Amino acid sequence: MGNMESTASEKSRNILVVYYSRTGSTRKVAEYITKQLGADMEMIIDMKKRSGVFGFVIGGMDALMRKETEISEIKKDPSKYDLVIVGSPLWAGHMAPAIRTYLNKYKANIESVAFFATSGGSSQGKIFEEARILLDKEIISFMGICTEELKDDSVFDAKLSSFIESLTQKNIDNNQRNLADHMDILFEAGDIFLTRGCSFISRAIRFFTRSIGEKRTKVNHVGLVVQRGDFKTAIAVEALKK
């Protein structure tokens, strides 16, 4: 159930886990992290009805259009915490309106932030960049987890333990140094990038392209850089979407 040494060291820090969950998936992750870190927890309540098929569709549209919503009054002041860990479901490729509202409202009160996202299968990479831009600060660590991984206890435990380990001060410092080191790298038009997703199509690609002796390939999305730039400014397209 996670690295006990790193978890113990994190309990000396003042940590808040903030999340919104429509179906319970994001809540499951938030509760695990809260328990392992001995953190406080804040559940964000969307005052707009999101249940049922209609609520699901409207929620996706609101997220796609980057709309805010009315949320309940918070009970925990994020400015009182050394680290705020934010969790959101992925809706139409974006964060849930309730989390967008929370971050817009309280971002000035958040000193340091980590982020996790849950999804039914889509790649979660876009939501982290969206959060970084909205907060106007670097996210010290982030994690995406899909339904397949949520249902597999061993994968779930390993992934959450790795995320919690990344939150130790030593690893935060290393991550920030590594990020700074790589920010100078320039991508040229025509460069190829490789990623790995966990959607149904991604899993199918891994299955049908796996090599003999391997359970799965390590990458399955091939993309192309179309505009020169660094990690923040380069523009790329995913070849599999063509």
- The answer to whether position 52 is within a domain reads yes
- Please tell me whether residues 121 and 236 are part of one structural domain: no
Do 135 and 213 sit in the same domain of this protein? no
Confidence check: pLDDT of 23 > 60: yes
pLDDT at residue 209, rounded to an integer: 45
Greatest CA separation found in the chain?
Answer: 55
Task: Look at residue 66 and tell me if it is in a domain.
Answer: yes
Q: Work out the percent of the chain whose per-residue pLDDT is above 90.
A: 40
Task: For 126, list phi and psi in degrees, rounded to 5.
Answer: -65, -35
For the ranges 17-21, 82-86, 117-121, 222-226, which has the lowest average pLDDT?
Answer: 222-226
Are 121 and 218 in a shared domain? no
Of 182, 201, 228, which one is at a domain's C-terminal end? Answer: 182
Give the length of the chain. Answer: 242
- Give tens-digit pLDDT for 209-238: 444 444 444 444 566 777 777 655 666 655
Q: pLDDT above 70 covers what percent of the chain?
A: 67
What's the pLDDT score for residue 182? 52
Considering the domain architecture, whether residues 160 and 229 belong to the same structural domain is answered as: no
Contacts of 136 (CB under 8 A, 6+ apart): 107
Return the CATH number at 131: 3.40.50.360
pLDDT in tens, 31-76: 999 999 999 999 999 999 888 888 888 888 988 888 999 999 999 9
pLDDT interval class at 166 (50, 70, 90): confident
Residue 204 inside a domain? The answer is yes
- Range with the largest mean pLDDT of 8-12, 168-172, 238-242: 168-172
Average pLDDT over residues 158-164: 92
Q: What is the pLDDT of residue 115?
A: 95
Instruction: For residues 113 and 142, give the distance between their C-alpha atoms in angstroms, rounded to a whole number.
Output: 9
Structural domain contains residue 177:
yes
More confident residue, 9 or 234: 234
Domain carrying residue 199:
192-241
**230: helix, strand or coil:** coil
CB atoms within 10 A of CB 140: 20
CA distances from 219 to 155, 194, 200, 212 (A): 18, 6, 14, 15
203 compared with 239, residue with greater pLDDT: 239
Name residue, tokens 């000193």: 111
What pLDDT score does 52 carry?
85
Residues with Cβ within 8 Å of residue 223, at least 6 apart in sequence: 192, 193, 194, 195, 236, 237, 238, 239
Q: What is the mean pLDDT of the chain?
A: 78
**Residue 197 clears pLDDT 60, i.e. is over it:** no
Residue 187 lies in a domain: no
| Residues 113 and 226 grouped into a single domain | no
Q: What is the pLDDT confidence band of residue 161, given thresholds at 50, 70 and 90?
A: very high
207 and 96 within one domain: no
Asked whether residue 152 falls in the same domain as residue 209, the answer is: no
Mean pLDDT for 2-27 is 73
- Number of domains forming the structure of the chain: 2
